[in-house]
Amino acid sequence: MTSAQRFCPTCGAPTPEDPVDKRGRCRTCYLEEHELLQVPEDLTVDRCGSCGSLELDGEWTDIETGLAEQAIDLVADRVAVIESVDELEWEVKTDAIDDRTIEVTALFDLHLDGGWERRERTTRVTFEPTVCQRCSRIAGDDFGAIVQLRATDRTPDEAEISRAREVAASVLEDRVDAGDRDAFLTDVVERPEGVDLRLSTPRLGNQLATAIRRALGGTLDTSRTLVTTDGDGREVYRVTYTLRFGQFRRGDILTTDDGALLVEGGTEGVHVLDLSTGERRTVTASDLEAARVTTLADAEQVTVVSVLDDRAVQVIHPTSYEAVTVAYYGDIDLDQETVRAVEVQDQLYLLPDDV
Ligand SMILES: [Zn+2]
Ligand SMILES: [Zn+2]
């Protein structure tokens, strides 16, 4: 049994069994009354001239793509079709009108009621140049925290500063990757006593100072200063994190009355390896007041001649080329052709393999 053929009540054309129009009209008559597609003719978006971020729905958002792609995305977000469209395809091309205007022309194929309709629309997208909040704070050097890199009785050396900056950069990158636009560095200030990192917020300052301390040791002090009172009467503080690296660095070799000590680290006290006995201990900075410092950079390779017993070996002295007896304490693989040694106060000491 077949059902009776239906006809459009307006023009009399045959219609499908289940027409898209509730009133039973054919597609042509239906489309005369309904706009299939809505696409804005003009779109304007604020764009930061400094970092390229866009203000979307009231929020600054970092954008990775180029302007043409951004323009297409903006248009795509605003295309609206009526409910009866069950499939949509579009081809799009862009024309750059000038450095802030892109024209997006799209050819839409829309499927409804068993057939395809084609529409063409052009949208002019204007990127209004402005400055985002973050860039304006960076430009104004508006910072909420300072991380001061210092050292006890010396200035931090280049290796410490560059390691600290690496750690800072990686913490910042993590914040930015997590979408935190409030995390930024406004400036790096070099001072005779060290380096200051100026950061957007106390929270970020705390994160950086803690991460740098974890990597490099040192003691951390915090102080805060009232900067201003904000519009709601709240007090706004700038927080200073002073990270003071120890007097001695990992790899320093200290000469004391007791012989030579290799610094292995330490935040509270100094962890040392006694290069005469192989004993590890922690000493306080005051124990080391009279110490003289050599660094691992002065180490040289020496050739082992013979192993005398488990506490002494003979090696060729690196400058006199004579065989000399030096203390041995384990931690050193004597099967190697040469081992590292350092000379302090006319005495040669072997260094452990792992420094
Ligand atoms: Zn009709
Ligand atoms: Zn910006």
- Tell me the CA–centroid distance for residue 176 and ligand 2, in Å: 13
pTM of the model: 0.65
Contacts 24+ apart (CB under 8 A), 247-252: 247/151, 247/152, 247/153, 247/154, 247/285, 247/288, 248/285, 248/288, 248/291, 248/293, 249/157, 249/160, 250/217, 251/295, 251/296, 251/355, 252/293, 252/294, 252/295
CA-only gyration radius of the chain, Å: 37
- Tell me the CA–centroid distance for residue 12 and ligand 1, in Å: 6
**Residue 80 near residue 164 (C-beta atoms within 8 A):** no
Q: Which ligand is nearest to the CA of 46?
A: 2
Q: Can you read off the two tokens belonging to residue 262?
A: 């290799």
Nearest to 102 by CA among 42, 39, 57, 60: 42
Helix (H, G, I), strand (E, B) or coil at 269: coil
Q: Give the per-residue pLDDT at 1.
A: 43
Q: Which ligand is nearest to the CA of 113?
A: 1
Q: Give the per-residue pLDDT at 25.
A: 87
The pLDDT tens digits for 224-237 are 998 888 888 888 88
Q: Give the per-residue pLDDT at 266.
A: 67
- Tell me the CA–centroid distance for residue 322 and ligand 2, in Å: 67
Those residues of the chain that have pLDDT short of 70 are 1-3, 266-268, 290
Q: Give the per-residue pLDDT at 268.
A: 67
- Tell me the CA–centroid distance for residue 64 and ligand 2, in Å: 13
- Tell me the CA–centroid distance for residue 56 and ligand 1, in Å: 43
Helix (H, G, I), strand (E, B) or coil at 55: strand
Q: Which ligand is nearest to the CA of 62?
A: 2
Q: Which ligand is nearest to the CA of 28?
A: 1
- Tell me the CA–centroid distance for residue 150 and ligand 2, in Å: 32
Helix (H, G, I), strand (E, B) or coil at 41: coil
Nearest to 199 by CA among 189, 225, 8, 257: 189
Phi-psi region of 177 (alpha: psi -120 to 50; beta: other; left: phi over 0): alpha
- Tell me the CA–centroid distance for residue 60 and ligand 2, in Å: 8
The pLDDT tens digits for 152-198 are 888 998 889 999 999 999 999 999 888 888 899 999 999 999 999 99
- Tell me the CA–centroid distance for residue 135 and ligand 2, in Å: 4
Instruction: Please tell me the distance from the alpha carbon of residue 82 to that of residue 64, in angstroms, as a whole number.
Output: 32
Q: Which ligand is nearest to the CA of 60?
A: 2
Q: Give the per-residue pLDDT at 241.
A: 97
Domain ranges of the chain: 35-130, 141-245, 252-350
